[in-house]
Amino acid sequence: MCVSSPPLPAVTSLATPFPAPHPTPPPSCVLQIIMEFVHGGTLTEVLGPTIDFPEAHIAFVCKQMLMGLAYLHRQHRLHRDIKSDNILVGFNGAVKLADFGFAVGLTEEQDKRRSVVGTPYWMAPELIRGLEYDAKVDVWSLGITAIEMAEGEPPHLHEPPLRVRSDAQWACCQWSGSSSRCRGREHVV
């Protein structure tokens, strides 16, 4: 069994059941995906509207997330589903990106994408609208996750998902202290 250990601790590692020389598994084998276990669970499990998540912890988690995203983006990969459910935290302070189900690669020929995938409350406006996008959509989602850490939930959580900000006007939200204030909500679809 080969263990794929990423060069960055902020990305979950993956154990693969076949050595690198085997391009395909033998027909009698069962394919298994084994990931490392992160004892603390997801970031979602430590957040909530009544939880005071200290600013220093928010900064630490954001820094670790940015390091993981920088690694992915250098590999020409987009995560496209950054949110607290997909951030693992360990009891030892480890912070790791997880759930690469919507991840996609970019090439020189196709350096932008248009497919609409992800979780609405964390999705960037251009992604929701089906416009071309690049790695900046992951940074947008990280920003929404930072607001979630500060306030206990992402903006607009109590609105129906299909009404979530699809207009770039939403990006003009002002965040001050412990509450986010958005102007131009009449532009929200």
Task: List the chain domain ranges.
Answer: 38-187
- Average pLDDT, stretch 73-93? 92
The CA distance from 31 to 34, in Å, is: 10
More confident residue, 179 or 34: 34
Tokens describing residue 155: 């903006």
pLDDT at residue 38 is higher than 80:
yes
Is 138 a known active-site residue?
no
The CA distance from 167 to 113, in Å, is: 18
**3-state helix/strand/coil string of 149-171:** HHHCCCCCCCCCHHHCCCCHHHH
Q: Tell the residue number behind the tokens 């989602």, with chain if given.
A: 141
For residue 162, the model assigns a pLDDT of 65
Residues 6+ away with beta carbon under 8 Å from 34: 1, 14, 15, 16, 17
Candidates 81, 99, 134, 138; catalytic one? 81
- Average pLDDT, stretch 13-31? 58
What sections of the chain are H helices per DSSP? 55-74, 125-128, 136-151
List pLDDT tens digits, range 123-179: 888 888 889 999 999 999 999 999 999 999 998 888 887 665 544 344 444 333 444
- Average pLDDT, stretch 88-114? 88
Phi-psi region of 91 (alpha: psi -120 to 50; beta: other; left: phi over 0): alpha
pLDDT at residue 16 is higher than 90:
no
The CA distance from 132 to 126, in Å, is: 7
The CA distance from 146 to 65, in Å, is: 10
In CATH terms, the fold of domain 38-187 is Transferase(Phosphotransferase); domain 1 (1.10.510)
- On whether the pTM is more than 0.85, the answer is no
The CA distance from 104 to 176, in Å, is: 34
Which residue type, as a one-letter code, is found at position 94?
Answer: A
For residue 28, the model assigns a pLDDT of 67
Q: Among 55-59, 78-82, 123-127, 162-166, whose mean pLDDT is lowest?
A: 162-166
User: CA 87 → CA 66, 109, 127, 158, distances in Å?
Assistant: 12, 31, 21, 22
The CA distance from 177 to 35, in Å, is: 37
For residue 117, the model assigns a pLDDT of 83
The CA distance from 65 to 126, in Å, is: 21
